[in-house]
Structure 1
Amino acid sequence: MEDNSFNQAVATELLTGEGAEVTLAVDGQDGVNQLRQHPEAFDVVLMDMQMPKMDGLTATRLLRQDPRFADLPIVAMTANVSQQDRDACHEAGMNEHLAKPLDFPEVVATLQRLTARAPVPVNEANQTTDPLAKILQRFGGNVALYRKLLVEFKQSFTESLQQLDAAINAQQWPQVQTILHTMKGTSGTAGLVSLYDAIVELERHNKQQSPSELQVTMADCVAQLTNLSAHEYQQIQQQLAGKAEQSTSPVAQVDLPQLLSELLESLQVGNMKAIDLAEQLVAQIDESHQDAAQQLLQMTENLQFELAVAQLKELMEQL
């Protein structure tokens, strides 16, 4: 149960990649309703703590009142990691507590243990101090998946910035707090560390300052967060590009007409698989068409699918 679209995308991509069947609920009430309608369909519940309509603690208490869900594993997901928060989760009836930003291997190991599946050990020996490598470890080392989720983060964060600007202009400080909490979670999950730290500081001010003080503190915060997120996003993309250049693994050759056909179909329906296909095209197209292919990849990564379709059709005419 998770209300944020980016976090939903992260959970769905990661868990389906491990063979899980994922059902999304947009808030606690929606999740409780789905469980009541299909009580035998679920092996475990991942429960966000702060959601509209019904929070995670309330939803868990309601489920535990129903004998059908007395033994259903429920795992809390929250950016609040104090002992008080942990105690509140366990008192409500939750089995485990996972801190955001989520560490993917830890999530998988926890779910497999609670559902009596074969455990996947979390290898402590592979810990690294490299910032990008640490982020990728959380995503199981899946670079392609991380690139996809970064694109989704950019879109989600832009929408949150618009919501934050409206709430600040209306001086709706409780709503500002809710939006900042969501933005903190998504930026942490996406691995934008400086952005995460800046939002944590804004969240602290919003909790502690008076409304008159907040009008001053929050006056320029949307512009600051916009600039910081764009800068750090670009940094990570450059690091990922450098990592790809350093890779010595040969690129598997795919039949070019088939690749072009699949890419066009994916772009036309808005399938995120198009990013992978566009990367494959860049990797194997001849040098005379590299600029056009790179532009196509950039459009695809920015989710400008209509522009990418036009670019691809033009490229196909030249081949």
Structure 2
Amino acid sequence: MYLNKISMAIIGLSSMGYAQADQGAGSETFWLWIALFALGIVGIAILFVTSYQTQKLKQFYKSMFEKQLEMERNQNLLLANMSENVHNIAKQTLEETQQLSKTSTNKDTVLGNTESRLLDVTHDLLDFLRLKSKQVEIVNEAFNINNVLNEVSGSICSQFLGSKAELIFDIHKNVPRHLIGDSLHLGQALKSILEYLMVQEELDEVKLEVSMFDTFEENVELQFQFSDKGRGIDPKTLENLFVPYYDVDTGKYVGLGLFVANALVDMMKGKLTVESREEKGSTFTLTLPFDIVNKSDQRRYRLPEKALIEKKVFIVDSNYNSALAVKRMFTYFRHEVTVLSKKEFMKTMPNLNSFDIVILDESLFDIRLIQYLNQIKMGKELKVIALNSLLHSNQNNVNDEVIDAQLFKPLNQERVFEMIVNMYNIKVPAVEEEQKDEAKQIQTYRRDFTETKGVTQHSFQDFSGKNILIVEDNLINQKVLLNLLHLSGINISVANNGQEAVDMVKKSQFPFDLVLMDINMPIMDGFTATQMIRLESQYDGMPIVAFTALVLDSEIQKMFNCGINAFLAKPLNIGKLYTAFSTYLDDTSKVAAKKKEVESQKAISYQGININEGITHANNSEALYREILKEFATAYGTSDEIFTKLIKEHRYEQVKMLCIDMRGLTGAIGAEDMHALINDILHKILYKKYELLANYNEKYKFEIQTLNRSIQKYINAA
């Protein structure tokens, strides 16, 4: 249409010009008209082009806006039915627990795995809320990469105990031992990705390959590449992989861990990508920048004697890729390594006389092999290592004198280093020991603590007046412990890392009766902190109980060697925590758990919120529930202002998203009155009765403020 008008204008202009020329009109007038009409044509053309471009731009922004809204809808749908979903998981967990208590022979392990489902949902919800309210902070401090990998492997293998899949850590030689970065959130991201991969069916292996690249800046870049040989991810799922949702069919939350991991990686200035081919498997690639603590230290693990290097090593593993990863660990120490497949080894047993170290899959140790290895040992020094997996560590392990050491996969250089040193009975130079006062020595508890039944938050009042130091870098874990113990009357101090713990122990005006020591921490880990404390004999009588996810015999022995008295396996079990307290703090008091349990079951009533219902949704952990309430109040406590603003601006889609968030969260925390109001508002939105929404401004304000007061009252309750 625009073009037709322009063409007609040009024809008319030309006709006028020719007519004027023929009539002999003045040339100046003629050219003036030509200039005016030409200018008009150019203006029309510019207007046309601008209009066209504007339309395209509007369509582009509209498309982008719709995609953004769709992403927000998908994200908010995660919480759309949170109350019903969490309730269903809690109900299902209870039913499974009751059924398993009647039929299972291994009740503790199975029930622990069952109950952890709800606990995982609760922790993910806390992470979600903290990200929503922008409370997550990235802290860059020195840390040991091996401690992070140990923590992750211990947690994953405990969670997926008995899996047929092989978990492989393949760590390149140039990866530094000590780095500067956020170890806490790095571990969380690694764990979330591995959890996603490990839940697949018919999975043969999951491999984490860690490598380092130099950058043009002062720091380095670590690449964590996760790969599997599973079914792969279909294109539609892949497109929305980092958008979490609730799967009605399976009754589980899908992708919430990946959503949190992706957000944390972005905050750490890294990048997380994924590629997948159906029936071929998937590859997640996580890259993160770090600083190196000591750039001049090229060789991070030094064996104390030259006789320990350049050994001839022979490896046979049930998984060949795993064997290659183990080979990389040993070649780091300049060993000459030969790898043979399990199939080839079983077909024809090779001559092992020329080797110094033989590392064999534990399933290979039959009577014939044991006799053969004993014959070799009679004529030369041969070290025999049985290779097993943390995922199968509950199975019967081979225990024969021919075996010098047990090695559990997945591995890292530090554990291999320590195994070599211990296997050859070489003492690494340590701090000179003082003469210890035997009277001050305290009990060493070498097994996992048994669980005291019927323990509640009030049970810890049995230890009122005691002084405890909690050493923990995870803020959520700190808050959970503080909330758990805040009614106990225990005097609690908190250290964020090992160095702070050492300083607080030495500078404290009163002696600590117990130290709860996390192992994996930045700046100074729990092993080193304990060693530093034990240097002074005046602290010999102070019990130190470790928190750790990796409870291998070698790791437990390492704890005792550095002066730790006992350990608690992660995740925290309050019944075992009470047992630990009883072991080291209970001088005269008797266990009053049953009495406290009856007292705690009395109905608690706060306006607008059902506390008991909320605690049930938080895996019956009052400490976790309090933490969720705090995070909810921070993220949504002033949502009435947002609600009123959105309605005033007629932004009804955003009002809907806010209410979807609030419906799920209020159901999860037991805020029954607010939950009912939100359902009423969503009903009006569903039928597009937007004109009625303004009537809810005061109601929303009243309910959220009432809820805020009740939450604060409950949190402050003594």
TM-score w.r.t. the length of structure 1 is: 0.45
> Would you tell me which structure has more helix in proportion to its own residues?
1
Q: Which has the higher contact order (CA 8 A, sep 6+)?
A: 2
